[in-house]
Chain A
Amino acid sequence: MKLPYVEYEAPTTVAEAIDLLAEHLDQASVLAGGQSLIPLLALRLARPAVLIDINGIDELSGVSATDGWVAIGAMTREYVAEKSESVADTVPLLAAALPLIGHEAIRSRGTIGGSLAHADPAAELPAVARALDAEFVVRGQSGERVVPAAQWFEGYLTTSRRPDELLLEVRFPTARRGTGISFQEVARRHGDFAIVGLAASLVFSGGVISDARLAFAGISDMPVRAAAAEDLLVGERPSTELFDEAARRATGDVDPPADLHGSSDYRNTVAAVMVRRGLRAAADNARERQ
């Protein structure tokens, strides 16, 4: 399981990286944390001609809070985001999901941008980004654009990043007053990818749910919002019956994949369980956060 031959570039500025991407396009892979890419290379499943290692581009790291948003540089290590007080205080759903990513050694190297650009549908961060309508800032030779999460994830390990574009940062909206969150997942073992996971964020106003975001990990080829369930929840007070119905609606028209770890039926069943438990936990969390 040795890596195949690759050419290697290590740009030190964003501009350099973009020039390299424009030159090599589909023949290049961007190497960020390497925690997903290097295993694919070792198994010789990924065969890029060129690795563009962006670990030397300092300007890509950092967490900064602005007006209603937390901007996280693409090269920000997962452990840094995990320790960030800014993230903990203002993007609690992200803070809840981060400790579930693999193990500490993975989070030492893995990056926020890398995970979201890799877009494994069973990973935690894509579900969080999708739930919160995070925004992805990419830059290519033709300029910079901001891609909302709904348009970022296109399919299995596929995003709308063009081959000549570099993901610069991901912006997460700060949680509003009255927010309650939870991240639930069923995994075979502690630290494993989710068989099914749910990122949930509710906003309560006067005891009534005024906003509901539910995004699944693991039930499709990309993170999916449970729109029908969200619609049901808005305007209602929490109750067991409401959450049960939300669970039914959330899993009504999903067709989850089957693999060694679970059949399609199993994922369907568990997805509903995640919704019930996630909504309960989010409601509890809203009370705690007050």
Chain B
Amino acid sequence: MVDITLRVNGATCTGSPEARKTLADFLRDDLNLTGTHVGCEHGVCGACTVIVDGRAVRSCLMLAVQAADSEVTTIEGLAPDGGLGTVQQAMWDSHSFQCGFCTPGFVMQAVAFLSDHPDAGEQQIREALSGNICRCTGYQSIIDGVLLAAERSRKR
């Protein structure tokens, strides 16, 4: 067991995970933040994507202990006071999702990507999201949501 302190969604959290526990499992089990989903546990599907110290990462490929003293944002931490952020709202408006299991990973990856590439076009967005797997939608509605979010952010 390793004692860690970290900030998650703006709040200071502590825990004593085993070193082998992934950040994904720590978030879900120890902090009860079950919005981050586990889809493959070998870093391919992207469902577990969270933002650590400003970068989108696969939380199944980080040990919880490696997130000590970091700033972590999960899907639960995106929206102010229970509302929806720009990306989330645009995805709702675009019918982006169906079963919703891949959704948190896509949202977090899209948020991270757009903050670095606010003017990205469709092909760039597709490449940026090609590391997230969705089985339900065929991706077009997700891409449309991200394009809409980018457009709305630019208008502000």
* A and B associate: yes
CB atoms of A105 and B57 under 8 A apart: yes
Question: B20 near A106 (CB under 8 angstroms)?
Answer: no
Task: Report which of A35, A190, A191 forms a contact with B61, defined as CB distance below 8 A.
Answer: A35
Contact between chains at B131 and A102 (CB < 8 Å): yes
| Contacts A7-B19, A35-B61 given; does A105 touch B46 at CB 8 Å | yes
Give the contacting residue for A103; candidates B52, B55, B130; CB below 8 A: B130
The docked-state distance in angstroms from the alpha carbon of A1 to that of B55 is 25
Report yes or no: A34 in contact with B65, Cβ–Cβ below 8 A.
no
- A251 at the binding interface (Cβ < 8 Å): no
With A38-B61, A103-B130, A191-B130 known to touch, is A3 a contact of B2 (CB < 8 Å)?
no
Q: Of all chain B residues, which has the CB nearest A8? A: B19
Number of interface residues of A (CB under 8 A): 31
Min CB distance A111 to B, Å, is 13
**Considering only CB atoms, which chain B residue lies closest to A102 in the complex?**
B131
Closest to B128 in A: A104
CA distance A103 to B66 in the complex (A): 20
A2 to B63, CA, bound (A): 11
Q: Which residues of chain B are within 8 angstroms of A5 by Cβ–Cβ distance?
A: 18, 20
A41 at the interface (CB under 8 A from B): yes
Q: Is the Cβ of A79 less than 8 Å from the Cβ of B55?
A: yes
Across the interface, which residues of B come within 8 angstroms of A24, CB to CB? none
Please report the C-alpha to C-alpha distance between residue A2 and residue B127 in the assembled complex, in whole angstroms: 29
Please, how many residues of chain B have a CB less than 8 angstroms from a CB on the other chain?
A: 30
- Cβ of B60 under 8 Å from chain A: yes
Give, as a whole number of angstroms, the nearest-CB distance from B142 to chain A: 15
Q: Is the CB of B42 within 8 A of A6?
A: no
Candidates A3, A10, A53, A106; contact of B131 at CB < 8 Å: A106
Contact of A190 among B41, B58, B130 (CB under 8 A): B130
Known contacts being A38-B43, A42-B60, A108-B56, is A8 close to B131, with CB within 8 Å?
no
B101 at the interface (CB under 8 A from A): no
Chain B residues 13 to 54 lying within 8 A of chain A, measured CB to CB, are: 18-22, 25, 41-43, 46, 49, 52
B109 in contact with A105 (CB, 8 Å): yes
Cβ of B56 and Cβ of A105 under 8 Å apart? Answer: yes
Residues B20 and A6 in contact, CB atoms below 8 Å apart: yes
B113 lies within 8 A of chain A by Cβ: yes
A287 and B121 alpha carbons, distance in the complex (Å): 28
Distance in angstroms from B105 CB to nearest chain A CB is 9
CB of B148 within 8 A of chain A?
no
Q: Does B62 contact A (CB under 8 A)?
A: yes
> Whose C-beta in chain A lies nearest to the C-beta of B48?
A105
Task: Please indicate the chain A residues that have their CB under 8 angstroms from the CB of B109 in the complex.
Answer: 104-105
Residue of B nearest to A40 (CB): B42
In chain A, positions 146-191 with a C-beta closer than 8 Å to chain B are 189-191
Given contact pairs A106-B43, A109-B62, A51 touches B130 in the complex (Cβ within 8 A): no
A1 touches B65 (CB 8 A): no
Cα–Cα, bound, A264→B49 (Å): 36
Find residues 1-32 in chain A having any chain B CB closer than 8 Å to their own CB: 1-8, 10, 31
Closest to B50 in A: A105
Q: How far is the CA of A1 from the CA of B61 in the complex (A)?
A: 12
A sample of 20 cross-chain residue pairs with beta-carbon separation below 8 angstroms, ordered by A number, consists of A1-B41, A1-B42, A2-B20, A2-B41, A3-B20, A5-B20, A6-B19, A8-B20, A8-B63, A34-B62, A38-B60, A39-B41, A55-B66, A103-B128, A104-B128, A105-B49, A108-B56, A108-B57, A191-B130, A191-B131
- A residues engaging B (CB < 8 A)? 1-8, 10, 31, 34-35, 38-39, 41-43, 51, 53, 55, 79, 102-106, 108-109, 189-191
Beyond A2-B25, A8-B20, A104-B112: 19 further Cβ-contacts under 8 Å? A3-B21, A6-B20, A35-B61, A38-B22, A38-B60, A38-B61, A38-B62, A39-B43, A42-B60, A103-B46, A103-B131, A104-B109, A105-B46, A105-B57, A106-B61, A109-B57, A109-B62, A189-B130, A191-B127
